[in-house]
Amino acid sequence: MLVTMAEILNRARKENYGVTAPNVQSEDTVRAVIKVAEELNAPMIIDVNAFIHPDLPWFINMIRELAALSTVPIAINLDHGRSYEDVMLGIRSGCTSVMVDRSSLSYPENVEQTKEVVKMARALGISVEAELGHVGMGDNYVVDGVSNLTEPEEAAKFIKETGVDCLAVAIGTAHGRYKGTPHIDFDRLDKIVEACGEVPLVLHGGSGTGDENLAKAVRSGIQKVNLATELIVAGKEELEKFIEDPNFDKWKLMPTFIKGYSDRLAHYVKLFGQNDKAWTK
Ligand SMILES: [Zn+2]
């Protein structure tokens, strides 16, 4: 069942659980994500990067068809729409949600460009995620882990001014692999949650942040956790063990990668309490 991201996240906000947003790269990973969601009876958000596929409209359409046939609620979100063109392509291709990432711009520019998308997306029944503060890169964690963190009052103001459906916040996570130990500013998160009222919050850079940190973030009021690197690394590790055997069965190569990817995703679905939260229309 195809739904918007707002439908999924507003329920998660009310019932206080988190939802995984795995990044997909191929049909195999899309099918894996949907299978995990169905097996655990969980609503799911599929995150798609604009650069990930040479034919984005085809790729999104394929996801739409699989999602529509699924028994569980599934949203398709364009991750990190960095230009107006990216966002338009995501919408035209059939995403049910888009992220407008203007977190590298000034506050007024971020507000202005996010608002522009919200107005149009709202008319089409598409949800919008934006980012305030900037979630940087794990390989530059010494700097990115402590700079451009989200200011609680500014976050509340941003939500009011833009009308976004959910907001990605910078509280000490980073994209990719961490160089150093992630430190999450939970005091800041508490203040953001209090300031932002009922609007669901998003955490980018979930990979490598650690079960304890992520479970606490979800308990504290994060509703969406983006996962990319860690799922791919889990697939790669499973694959490495498999190909150590020189007589490996070639037909099991991709299923082996998918097993690693899926097992790690299932782990997070259970950690965030997203299992058994699926609903039917
Ligand atoms: Zn991200």
Q: What is the distance between the alpha carbons of residues 269 and 186, in angstroms, rounded to a whole number?
A: 21
Determine which one of 79, 86, 165, 185 is catalytic: 79
Known catalytic residue at 79 = yes
The Cβ-side half-sphere exposure at 33, using a 13 Å CA radius, reads 29
Which of 176-180, 220-224, 263-267 comes out lowest in average pLDDT?
176-180
Residue type present at position 243: I
pLDDT in tens, 10-19: 999 999 999 9
CA 64 / ligand 1 centre spacing (Å): 22
Is the confidence at residue 200, as pLDDT, over 90? yes
Q: Mean pLDDT throughout 234-253?
A: 96
| Domains present along the chain, CATH in parentheses | 5-271 (3.20.20.70)
Length of the chain: 281
CA 246 / ligand 1 centre spacing (Å): 38
pLDDT classification of 145: cutoffs 50, 70, 90: confident
Is the confidence at residue 108, as pLDDT, over 90? yes
Which of these, 80, 66, 4, lies nearest to 37 by C-alpha position? 66
Q: What is the distance between the alpha carbons of residues 268 and 271, in angstroms, rounded to a whole number?
A: 5
Cross-strand bridge partners of residue 137:
175
What per-residue confidence (pLDDT) applies to 161?
Answer: 98
Backbone torsions φ then ψ of 71, nearest 5 degrees: -80, -15
CA 226 / ligand 1 centre spacing (Å): 7
CA 255 / ligand 1 centre spacing (Å): 27
Mean predicted lDDT score pLDDT of the chain: 96
Is the confidence at residue 260, as pLDDT, over 90? yes
